[in-house]
Structure 1
Amino acid sequence: MVRKYSKELLDKIVERQEMVDIKGAKVLVKNLPDSDEVGAMDPRLYNDSKKQMKIMRFMPKSMMKMDTSPKSIDKLRNMFGEIKSIPIVKKSIDIINENVEASDGYKIPVRVYKSETMKENAPILYFIHGGGFFGGSPDVVEELAKLIVEKTNILAFSVDYRLAPENPYPTGHNDCYSVLKWIYDSAEDFGGDKKNIFVAGDSAGGNLTQYCTTKDLEDKLGMVKGQLLLYPTVNMANVEDEYFKWSKDEYEIAPKHRHGVEMMLDIFNGMSDGMESILGTSDVKNKYLTPYIGDMKDLPPTFITVGEHDFLKVECLAYAAKLTKGGVDTTTVLYKGFGHAYGDNIGVYPQSEDCAIEMGNFILKYSK
């Protein structure tokens, strides 16, 4: 299918990008390709969101709180499982379905992506989808994985881990780590290089990614060469320090978009309050669910990206600052005019494709 934007817009994003310092971290800011308005939503995103924002105007505040009833979870799963990307990959990419045995015997579904031009002894991307730990699927991020494979000729894996609340924490986390170990052991069977495994994930998947990296360090297995965190959940306990204190004052929002953006921030804020119930644990203040309080020592090169209007922006940029201060080689990319989950919109927004390119460049840079 054809992209919904011109290549000129994709090029303009690169032309207009700039490096800035935020709390001591170098951040590559991706300005809007066709607007200089401070705090404005991307015009394409705004046009697609107008109907949704009109509906939200009439939502009572009670509906902005996380409802963990089975009926509500089903509705949210349908929403989080929606496929928004457009297939734009032209190369032939084989998708192989595998099953990995978890510690309790459960068969974890895994997809393998191999392009017709895959490198010999190829670097590996292991992608973990988001969805609040209770939703999402590999389908939602499949075009992102395929696009990275097409542009880099690497090998990719994607996991369909078990979801909460039916499978409480740490089931999903352990599933993802089990698959990482399987990929390391099986890499050569698929033509991949087990010495160059990059773990990536979006939103809750970013938390699961950091868990895999942390466990790998703790177990001294040396499996993870680098990690890519897309708008990750890293401070579930809302631990405040010199870098982090959430406030709407941390956001630049254009007056004409203020109501819609603030409603989205309120909705995400309400959903975050229900995470303990979703995960089935009262202990979110641990280094796995809140890696923000963990030891930054010895973490591999880390890529972080987040949108200007994302509820998680404040903690993501704070995490980038802490990683930088801790001596971690950190690449941080901020997309102006966007909120959450732009990785789910390949072919729809130029920023989504640009993000895939940046991810691929990061992997190729650190796999040398």
Structure 2
Amino acid sequence: MGRKYSQELLDKIIERQEVVKIKGAKVLVKSIPDSDEKGAMDPRLYNNMKRQIILMRFLPKRLFKFDTSPKSISKLRGMFNKVKSNPIVEKEINIIHETVEANDGYKIPIRIYKSKTIKENAPILYFIHGGGFFAGSPDVVEELVKLIVEKTDILAVSVDYRLCPENPYPTGHEDCYSVLKWIYNNGESFGGNKSNIFVAGDSAGGNLTQYCTTKDMEDGLGMVKGQLLLYPTINMANVEDEFFKWSRDEFEISPKYKRGVEMTLGIFEGLSDGLGDVLGTKDIKNEYLSPYIREPKGLPPTFITVGEHDFLKVECLAYAAKLNKVGVKTETILYKGLGHAYGDDIGVYPQSEDCAIEMGKFILKYSS
């Protein structure tokens, strides 16, 4: 199908980017490539959401509340599990299907991605998909993973961990950590370098990523060389401090796009409120589900990216500031005009491809 945008737009993202300080931390801000309007939605995103925005005007606010009934979960999975990317990867990528044994004997499906031109002793990307802990799959992020492999010739692994609510917390978290240990012990047989493992994840997958890094540090194994957090869920308990206090005043919104932006903020606010229920725990104020509250000193190099109009923007930029304050090497990218989950839209938005390129650069930069 190919890209829905021109190379010129990709180039303009780079030309127009600038570094600014937010809460004391350096943030690389990437503007909409073809718009200077402050607080605007990217025109491609807006066009894709027009119908939803119109429909949402007529829906009662109670429907924005996250319903954890089986019927609601099934419906949301249908939405979240749609593959939205356009195939743009041209290089042949070999996908190997394996399983990893979990703590309880369950066979966790994984996918291993190798290009024919894989680097010798290649760095390893371990990608954990998002979906609110109850949805999503490796299919949704596969084009993102393949694009990073194409651009860098590294080895990549993705995981199909068990989902809530059928498998309550910490099952999915422990599945992801079991796969990390498997990669460390077996990655070299596929051409990877166990000394250069980078864990990455989007949204809830970002939470699972941080869990893997945290457990690795606690166990003293030194498996994680760096982590990449794409609009991660990291402060589920909404703990306030010098960097974080959620407010709609944190969002610059053009009047033209007010309805669209506020609609997406409302949807994710409703989802966020129900995560404890879907996870099957009332203890969301722990250092695994809300890693924001943990002392971050000693974390490996960290990449954080988030959209300007993402509900999670406030906590993501706060986390970047917190990591920066204690000396963690942190690279943060803010995409103007976007909301949540743009990693799912490779080939649809130029910013999505740009993000994949930046992820690859981060991995190569911190590989030894």
TM over 0.5: yes
Q: Which residue of 1 aligns with 2:183?
A: 183
- Name 2:198's counterpart in structure 1: 198
The equivalent of 2:292 in structure 1 is 292
Give the letter for the 2:216 counterpart.
D
Once residues 133 and 200 of structure 2 are traced to their aligned partners in structure 1, the CA distance between those partners, rounded to angstroms, is 15
1:227 equivalent in structure 2: 227
Tell me the residue number matched to 1:94: 94
Separation in 2, partners of 1:165, 1:298: 33
- Deviation for aligned residue 1:263: 1.4
Q: Match of 1:139, SS?
A: helix
> Offset at 1:260?
1.3
- 4+ aligned runs moved over 6 Å, structure 1: none
In structure 2, C-alpha distance between the alignment counterparts of 1:230 and 1:271, rounded to whole Å: 18
1:7 has 2:7 as partner: yes
| 1:83 corresponds to | 83
Q: Distance in 1 between matches of 2:83 and 2:263?
A: 23
Q: Indicate the SS of the match to 1:141.
A: helix
Aligned partner letter, 1:55: L
Aligned to 1:273: 273
Deviation at 1:259, TM superposition (A): 1.2
TM-score between the two structures when normalised by the length of structure 1: 1.00
Q: Distance in 2 between matches of 1:264 and 1:145?
A: 26
Percent identity of paired positions between Structure 1 and Structure 2: 78
The residue that corresponds to 2:164 in the other structure is 164
Structure 2: state its 5+ residue gaps.
none
Aligned partner of residue 126 in structure 2, secondary structure: strand
Give 2:334's aligned amino acid: L
Tell me by how many angstroms 1:342 deviates: 0.2
Q: Report the 3-state secondary structure (helix = DSSP H, G, I; strand = E; otherwise coil) of the residue aligned with 1:322.
A: helix
Structure 2 match to 1:152: 152
Q: AA paired with 2:243?
A: Y
Quote the offset at 1:276 in angstroms.
1.0
User: What residue number does 2:72 align with?
Assistant: 72
CA shift digits 1:43-84 (9 cap, x unpaired): 011011101111111111110000000000000000000000
CA distance in 2, matches of 1:295, 1:224: 18
The secondary structure found in structure 2 opposite 1:174 is: helix
**Matching residue of 2:34:** 34
Tell me what 1:105 maps to.
Answer: 105
Secondary structure of the equivalent of 2:234?
A: coil
Amino acid of the residue matched to residue 203 of structure 1?
S
State the partner residue of 2:44.
Answer: 44
**What is the SS of the residue equivalent to 2:67?**
coil
CA distance in 2, matches of 1:2, 1:136: 23
Does residue 122 of the first structure (1) align with residue 122 of the second (2)? Answer: yes
Alpha-carbon deviations, 1:315-356, whole Å to 9, x = none?
000000000001100000000000000000000000000000
Aligned partner of residue 222 in structure 2, secondary structure: coil
CA apart distance, 1:2? 1.7
TM-score, structure 2 length as denominator? 1.00
Distance 1:110 1:219 in 2: 23
* Secondary structure class of the residue paired with 1:79: helix
Letter in 1 for 2:233: T
The residue aligned with 2:302 is 302
| TM superposition shift of 1:184 | 0.2
Q: Compute the displacement of 1:292 (Å).
A: 0.4
Q: How far does residue 227 in structure 1 lie from its aligned partner after superposition?
A: 0.1
The Cα shift of 1:270 comes to: 1.1
Q: Could you tell me how far apart the structure 2 residues matched to 1:59 and 1:68 are?
A: 19
Counterpart position of 2:347: 347
Q: Which amino acid aligns with 2:57?
A: R
* CA distance, structure 2, for counterparts of residue 37 and residue 264 of structure 1: 19
Aligned twin of 2:21: 21
User: Residue 89 of structure 1 aligns to which amino acid in structure 2?
Assistant: V
Take 2:256 and 2:330, find their aligned partners in 1: how far apart are those partners?
34
Gaps of 5+ in 1: none
Residue in 2 that maps onto 1:256? 256
The amino acid across from 1:334 in the alignment is L
- Provide the rounded CA distance (Å) in 2 between the counterparts of 1:26 and 1:297: 18
- Name the CA distance, whole Å, in 2 between partners of 1:86 and 1:2: 6
Cα distance in 2 for partners of 1:102, 1:5 equals 42
Q: How far does residue 302 in structure 1 lie from its aligned partner after superposition?
A: 0.0
Q: Compute the displacement of 1:358 (Å).
A: 0.3
Which residue of the partner structure matches residue 323 of structure 2?
A: 323
Shift in Å at residue 116 of structure 1?
0.9
SS of 1:278's equivalent?
helix
What is the CA deviation profile of residues 88-140 of structure 1, one whole-angstrom value per residue up to 9, with x for unaligned ones? Answer: 00001000000000010000000000001100100000000000000000000
Give the Cα–Cα distance (whole angstroms) in 1 for the partners of residues 92 and 337 of structure 2.
33
Shift of 1:295: 1.5
Secondary structure of 2:205 counterpart:
helix
